[in-house]
Amino acid sequence: MKEIKKILVPVDFSPNATKVLDAARYVAGKCGAELSVIFVVQSFDDYSGFFVPHIPIAQFEEEMLAGARKKLDAFLEENLPEDETVSSEVILGEVAVEIVEYAKRADAHLIVMGTHGYKGLESVLFGSVAAKVVRNAHCPVLTVNPYRQ
């Protein structure tokens, strides 16, 4: 197994995102690894035929990216000590695909991400981003079930 020196942490701003970040920070501390935190804004490309928005989709996506950047900065400021720095990025696209592609581009050695624990019909309807990442990632994926901590 490759030495773990780069850890990717996708966050979703749910109440459990802090637990996932804490788990990733713990692993990074044990491995001496750097953290990269990302948030993926779901692209509306797949839905553009369903409705006619009052503003162009491209403009809406730009505003979503700007808002997500502010939220990510605030999330990190709130959940990291002042002396701890991480790289961070906001990306537009299909969430699971972008996580996997970013991890590969960044040469991440490990992805640490949360699960939502969907079961039954919810799982069928919404799928699992974590399951898709686990199946397609080039590196190991540590999933954190925030309900079991």
pLDDT of residue 14: 86
Average pLDDT for 3-14 = 95
Per-residue pLDDT at 137 exceeds 60: yes
Residue with the larger pLDDT of the pair 38 and 1: 38
pLDDT tens, 105-136?
999 999 999 987 555 545 544 458 888 999 99
pLDDT of residue 42: 86
pLDDT of residue 15: 82
- Crossing angle of helices 57-79 and 17-31, in 10° steps, is 60
What span, in angstroms and rounded, lies between the C-alpha atoms of 83 and 50?
46
The single residue listed with the structure tokens 């009052």 is: 54
Full set of structural domains in the chain with CATH:
6-148 (3.40.50.620)
Closest CA to 99 of 3, 7, 21, 15: 7
pLDDT of residue 125: 47
42, 45, 128 from 24: Cα distances, Å? 23, 31, 20
pLDDT tens, 63-80?
889 999 999 999 999 999
Q: The whole model's pTM is what?
A: 0.86
3-state secondary structure of 60: helix
pLDDT of residue 10: 97
26, 55, 69 from 149: Cα distances, Å? 14, 42, 28
Is residue 106 within 8 A of residue 8, CB to CB? The reply is yes
pLDDT tens, 11-55?
999 888 999 999 999 999 999 999 999 999 987 665 556 555 566
Residue with the larger pLDDT of the pair 146 and 89: 89
